[in-house]
Amino acid sequence: MRIFITGGAGFVGCNLAAHHLRLGNHVTIFDNLARPRTAHNLAWLKKLKLDNTVAQSLQTYIGDIRHEDELREAMTLAQPDLVVHLAAQVAVTTSVTNPREDFEINALGTFNVLEVARNLPKPPAVFFASTNKVYGGMEEVAVVEDATRYHFRDFPNGIDEHQPLDFHSPYGCSKGTGDQYVRDYARIFGLKTVTFRQSTIYGPRQFGVEDQGWLAHFIIATVTGRPFKIYGNGKQVRDMLHVRDLIAAYDAAWHNIDRVSGEIFNVGGGKDNTISIWAECGPMLEELAGREIPVAYSETRPGDQPIFVSNNAKANKMLAWQPQVKLWDGIQELWHWVSENRHLFV
């Protein structure tokens, strides 16, 4: 198998690349290395001593998905069976301050990936990393607050794919544009595509920052002794999906591509892997740190959902997939990875 990963030096991308290298597949990474510390992930991949063919199994192109000519050259040389499109502008706040750049990366960049893929002599399948942010703030969904978290009043199993789209924020608009283009290229052009509306992904090699990767950001700040803020009251709930479980969903879709082409799946930790971002997460991190963690609070940010829990029933039915990594186990694993790699966060 030949896999082409845009954003392949990022958190999800490098874990996906390593997974396929271990399977003996040929991996091509396409990344502009714009995000801080992605070079660390690329260096880690290049040092993997998996077998004596790893040098021939990993190809890297430094390029930008906004530049169709760069993308076409790399993908033509790679001749992939599967393109996993992960490259993106990932922060709502950045999209508000620079909506044009957000659009060019997320909307135009995704369009470029689709156009290059469909015009190859042998068009590959295309997987797209979308987001639950395409559902917007979901203000019409009733939410109940208790001592440590918010709950959906009427959706005990979470939100499924029938939830109306509401592209709140430039980020939501640009990712939602890609989301719908990827789906429609399966219908109109017959390109084999799958869209994954992903919830909070976490795990090793995540260099979380304030705007993205909040759990990793909190852990990194705690381990390194840096201050950080909680936006809102800290009761906001997220369902956490470990990166290995996300990769398992990609694998399941690839093995069933003829049956699931054109489908959209919500993929998240689900109701069994939920946590409020500080009222519940804070005590867990304090247990790991062995001390109290001081935090500052600030106003809720625009478009920040008080709760999102993914209903994974469709993915479970069509892909025979469900999360396997328990949240506390995953949090401990991420904590230990950050602690053991403190030098990467200097």
**Amino acid present at 136:** G
CA 180 – CA 164 distance, rounded (Å): 13
3-class SS of residue 111: helix
Q: Where are the alpha helices (DSSP H) in 191-280?
A: 214-224, 243-255, 257-260
- Segment (H or E) for 329: helix 327-340
DSSP 32-70: ---STTHHHHHHHHHH--S-TTHHHHEEEEE--TT-HHH
C-alpha distances out from residue 96 to 90, 106, 155, 217, 262, Å: 12, 14, 30, 21, 30
Let me know if 171 is a catalytic residue. Answer: yes
Whether residue 124 contacts residue 193, with contact meaning beta carbons closer than 8 Å, is answered with: no
φ and ψ at residue 268, rounded to 5 degrees: -150, -175
Whether residue 190 contacts residue 114, with contact meaning beta carbons closer than 8 Å, is answered with: no
CA 199 – CA 145 distance, rounded (Å): 21
Whether residue 87 contacts residue 93, with contact meaning beta carbons closer than 8 Å, is answered with: no
- Find the catalytic residue in 61, 171, 181, 185: 171
| Sign of the alpha-carbon dihedral angle for 201, 204, 210, 212 | negative
CA angle 178, 3, 28 (to 5 degrees): 95
Residue 82 class from Cβ within 10 Å (0-12 exposed, 13-18 middle, 19+ buried)?
A: buried
Which residues are annotated as catalytic? Answer: 171
